[in-house]
Chains A and B, each alone.
Chain A
Amino acid sequence: FSLAACSVLWVSLLLMICAHGYPECQTISLADLFNRVIQHSARLHRLSSDLYSEFEQYLIPSKNEIGTRKCHTSYIVTPNGKEHAQKLAGEELTEVILKLLMAWGEPLAQFHQSMTQQQDYNIYSSNKAMEMSDMVHELKNGVQKVAEKMQLLGILSTFLNGEDTLHSLESESSSVFSVDHLNFLHCFRRDSDKIWSYLKILKCRILPESGC
């Protein structure tokens, strides 16, 4: 109870201060935050699709690998349908999103490095990879901000399972990076689409009037 009271007090104080228009505490509305994050993830997905198409021209997947394709994030349980996604609570959905983003941060950096090292790829692909790596980081931060805001506004009841678990997940995934670039990109393309979709669902569930 005290925690709730504290948070309420904090929110009211914030609102009081910021209502007077101090430039330091220019607050962005939740809708705007969501929109930014969704646009970010859309762009991320587009990048990954483009890069995958480029790689497909270079590398023909061998027949053997089709069946054995496996993504390193497959351990993360993600809803694979609309109903499933809608059944998840907001906190869970946010958690899934953050888990995915965490899992891809390190491998993407490594991917970019390996690309530049190999020098087989043109500069545009390398730039895209670098941009993807950066965007994942930013998106992660953004989603965290959104989560914080939602918690501040009382939409999400409990804070996410501490960063520790997420970080542990991250450290686990770093060693799983595979050399198969095509498969790697295929997995990332899919996961970026998941992130994007989950964010949209989250937004339209929390803010139904904002363009849904």
Chain B
Amino acid sequence: MMWIDSGTMPLLTLSVFFLLLSPATSTSAPGRPRVTSCRSPEKETFTCWWEPGDDGGLPTTYALYYCLEGSETVYECPDYKTAGKNSCFFSKNDTSLWINYNISVVATNAEGKSVSEPVEVDVVYIVQPKTPESVMVSVLEDDHGPYLRVSWDKPRSADTRSGWITLVYQLRVKQVKEENWEEYDAGMQKYYNVFSLHSGKEYMVQVRCKPDHGFWSEWTTPAYIQMPDFIPRERSMWIMVAVFSAFILLIFAWTMNVKRSSVKHYLLPPIPGPKIRGFDQQLLKSGKSEEVFNALVIQGFPPTTNYEDLLVEYLEVYDDVKQELVLNGKNLPEGLLKSKTMSSDNDSGRGSCDSRTLLMEKCAEGVEESGMEQELSQFGESSWASSDSGEDRENPASPRQEDRKVQTWPPVFSSPQPHHFQQQQPGGTRASYHSVPEISCRSPPGHSSGGQQNRFSKPGFYQYTQMHSMDSIEHKHVAQVPQSQSAEYVEVQTVDPENILLLRPLANAEGHDPELSDFAGEDYSKVRDVTSDNILLLQRDLSGPQYVRDYCQDQSGQVDPCFMQLQQVEQTCKPTNVHLHLPSLMLQDGMRLAGNGYVDSTIMMS
């Protein structure tokens, strides 16, 4: 009993052990297998794979059966081995195109069998070629920089030479460290150029192919390539352009900086500030208005005393050439006289020489430019006989003067309008004048008797006198600006011993002697005539006859000095009265009314 006990004990435990361990195994028929895929690599053979189902605990065998379309004959797979486990390989002889294969797999074990779902296959539509072969990548150079050239070969099994199968290729490129692929379609060709890759980076390339209608092959194993370091042409060019333009800008800025002031002057031209003569800004700032206004009053204005400093105009009268007094038989065009319309007495709009005040300053400096001549000769072409006026002036010959528009009038007489003259004489009755009305801006020789202020006011109607050629500065010549009805008055400053009346324009009577003040404004008579006795015929002003009377009566004292002057100066001066023609204008023959009552004595004289 002891033997039995020792023997059965392990047996018992073992059996118990086995009983416990092994579940209740019930074998069954295998589960349904499944045909996973069928593929043809070259459209001549194909392979089908299946997936076994549950084997039911028993060793199971699998068999593949197929039948062709339109036939009931069932065939079994000819080759289970070539393609590996759970596969069936159809060789060329077994493969027919354009025919549907009905394929199914049967799993069999001891318990039973099961059949998979049937699958219809037409070989033409299950072509999936092998991967392309011999992928080669190289770096090439061209004008724009390096690029990649990828080349490959068709898969060996595909027969493209006979035209049986046509393949299209595709490649993809990416940087090794990046994630996104860049795909390119290469069509049927077996090479491809990839451009626009980054310098210095490492790239990987893969290729695959596809038949006309079918599946894409697998990607080839990656080919690695390193791009060389280079600077793209465009970028280098832009860098050069940027550097160059920066350089230019630098130089430009530097020159601007150096020429700062002139640039500023050019861009923002200084606006001349308001300039009032005598106006002292400092004084204004200091705040004393009285002083400021007092400063505005120019003591020496109008100039009263220093006649020498002023522009002097003198009238020269000749005995012998009386007939040539005005112009030798030549008629000055009336327009000459007429056209001079004296405009208002202000300085606006005229050049420096137009301004009376400034003019005087200028002319006091003894300016005797030829410019004056130029201005004078604007009266048209003329052979100015004495144009030279003897002081080495240039001959204001006609060539110079044709189109000259005199902006600046001869200094003494301000505000004649040369334009008018020009306009009114477009065609120009270009008379040849023998005499040039000329103004000489000269300071009078020291004849002025400083004491006596002999005034002979002459309204602004001037006679033409002949300008005889002078050859020295002593000669005084008179030029008179043909001036029409201008209201510019002149007063006689002195009478020279050489029978020259030194005239000067009469300025405002401000600050003058009281007796002078009466002469301001319209209290002047105009010289109507100069008689053969060297007598000035004064013309009564139309506008103000009473003034004339006053003049005659009240200021007879004034008149007398005139005569006295004349008598003193001129031997031939007859102490006759100045003929005052009180009544209104007695127009004689040959006299012409011009403008506002002034007489064109030139015509009369001739």
Residue from B98, B120, B124, B164 in contact with A201 in the complex, judged by beta carbons closer than 8 Å: B164
Q: Which residues of A contact B122 (CB under 8 A)?
A: 190
Q: Which residues of A contact B159 (CB under 8 A)?
A: 82
Q: Number of contacting residues on B, CB 8 A?
A: 23
Q: Which of B89-97, B267-275, B364-372, B392-400 contacts A (4 or more CB under 8 A)?
A: B89-97
Contact (Cβ within 8 A) B163 A81: no
B120's nearest neighbour on chain A, judged by CB, is A66
Question: Which A144-192 residues have C-beta < 8 A from chain B?
Answer: 190
Q: Which residues of B contact A204 (CB under 8 A)?
A: 161-163
**B316 interfacial contact with A, CB 8 Å:** no
Encoded as 1 (CB less than 8 Å from any B CB) or 0, chain A from 36 to 67 comes to 00000010010001000000000000000010
Contact (Cβ within 8 A) A82 B162: yes
Q: A70-B70, A81-B92, A82-B44 are in contact. Are A190 and B161 (CB under 8 A)?
A: no
Contact (Cβ within 8 A) B163 A200: yes
**B431 interfacial contact with A, CB 8 Å:** no
B188's nearest neighbour on chain A, judged by CB, is A211
Q: Which residues of B contact A205 (CB under 8 A)?
A: 162-163
Residue from A49, A80, A194, A211 in contact with B213 in the complex, judged by beta carbons closer than 8 Å: A49
In the bound assembly, the distance between CA atoms of A193 and B97 in angstroms comes to: 11
Q: A49-B213, A81-B44, A193-B124 are in contact. Are A201 and B92 (CB under 8 A)?
A: no
**A203 interfacial contact with B, CB 8 Å:** yes
**B567 interfacial contact with A, CB 8 Å:** no
Contact (Cβ within 8 A) A190 B98: yes
Contact (Cβ within 8 A) B163 A203: yes
Chain B min CB distance to A90 (Å): 13
Chain A min CB distance to B5 (Å): 70
Residue from B95, B166, B188 in contact with A200 in the complex, judged by beta carbons closer than 8 Å: B166
**A113 interfacial contact with B, CB 8 Å:** no
Q: Which residues of B contact A66 (CB under 8 A)?
A: 120
In the bound assembly, the distance between CA atoms of A200 and B213 in angstroms comes to: 14
Chain B min CB distance to A61 (Å): 11
**A3 interfacial contact with B, CB 8 Å:** no
Encoded as 1 (CB less than 8 Å from any A CB) or 0, chain B from 83 to 115 comes to 000000000100111110000000000000000
Contact (Cβ within 8 A) A69 B69: yes
**A24 interfacial contact with B, CB 8 Å:** no
Chain B min CB distance to A168 (Å): 25
Q: Which residues of B contact A12 (CB under 8 A)?
A: none
In the bound assembly, the distance between CA atoms of A42 and B213 in angstroms comes to: 10
Q: Which residues of A contact B95 (CB under 8 A)?
A: 81
Residues in chain A within 8 A of chain B (CB atoms)? 42, 45, 49, 66, 69-70, 74, 78, 80-83, 85-86, 190, 193-194, 196-197, 200-205, 208, 211-212
A-B contact pairs, 6 of them (CB 8 A): A80-B97, A82-B43, A86-B162, A200-B164, A208-B161, A212-B161
Ordered nearest first, which 6 A-B pairs have the shortest CB separation? A204-B163, A200-B163, A80-B96, A82-B164, A80-B97, A201-B163
Extra 11 A-B pairs, beta carbons < 8 Å, given A78-B98, A86-B162, A190-B124: A80-B96, A80-B97, A81-B97, A190-B122, A196-B212, A197-B164, A200-B163, A200-B164, A203-B163, A204-B161, A208-B161
